[in-house]
Amino acid sequence: MKVGVFAGTYVDTKMGVELLKKRGFEPLSFPISKNPKDQSALQYYSREELTNIVEEKIREAKKEGAEKIFIYCNSLSASIDVEGLTHRQSIEIITPLDFYRNLDSSYEDIVILAANSKSAHGIDKILSEKTFRNTIAIGILALVEEIEKKTSPEEIVHKLGLRELFNFFNKMERRPSAIILGCTHFPYMKEEFEKLTEIEILDPAEDMIKRLNNK
């Protein structure tokens, strides 16, 4: 199946393409912006303007034979009108947002690690639509930038003081039940994060693959 892979930058688009190739899909690459700062700036445009940019690229993807659209970017997904695009373009659009909407209510205390504060707020809002949850929502654009530079996970932890951040989570009296990787760059750090905590780390990408496989 041909799938249009959309993401904020060339790097996370490439990550999405490689993920789908491993699962037997034929991905088509459609990055929206050149780098993390441009991507963050783009999300502060009007919702309508950003949706129009994405819609034009969906038309391109359909011309190239895409049967579904895979938006491998939390920030982008939260900043556009996915429902309107799905209706107008008559194509299924898979984003991380449904993972948050359907997250089990047993996850009451959650840490959200996102690319920027707008994305963190968007994820937080969706998580609490059905069930109120205690959340700590953090936007860390510097983490995205280090991943784009291909800095090693170990060095990133040191440079950004992430060991201290995770120690804060670990020492909380009411310890979080999960840490959500609310940016598609962050699975790059998952193994390193698991060395820093016993708190469950959730990656929405697996849920997205399951939905992509649904006919």
- For residue 178, the enclosing domain spans 98-203
Residues 87 and 65 in one domain: yes
Q: Same structural domain for residues 26 and 102? A: no
Q: What is the pLDDT of residues 46-67, one digit of tens each?
A: 788 889 999 999 999 999 999 9
Same domain? For 102 and 190 the reply is yes
Of 24-28, 77-81, 100-104, 121-125, the poorest mean pLDDT is in 77-81
Q: How many domains in the chain?
A: 2
Cα first-last separation, the chain = 11
52 and 86 co-located in one domain: yes
What CATH number corresponds to the domain at position 146?
Answer: 3.40.50.1860
163 plus 175 within the same structural domain: yes
Q: Rounded distance, CA 84 to CA 67, Å?
A: 17
pLDDT digits (tens, 9 = 90+) for 122-179: 899 999 888 889 999 999 999 999 998 999 999 999 999 999 999 999 999 999 999 9
| pTM tops 0.75, yes or no | yes
Tell whether 135 and 86 lie within a shared domain. Answer: no
Q: What crossing angle do the helices spanning 36-43 and 47-63 adopt, rounded to 10°?
A: 120
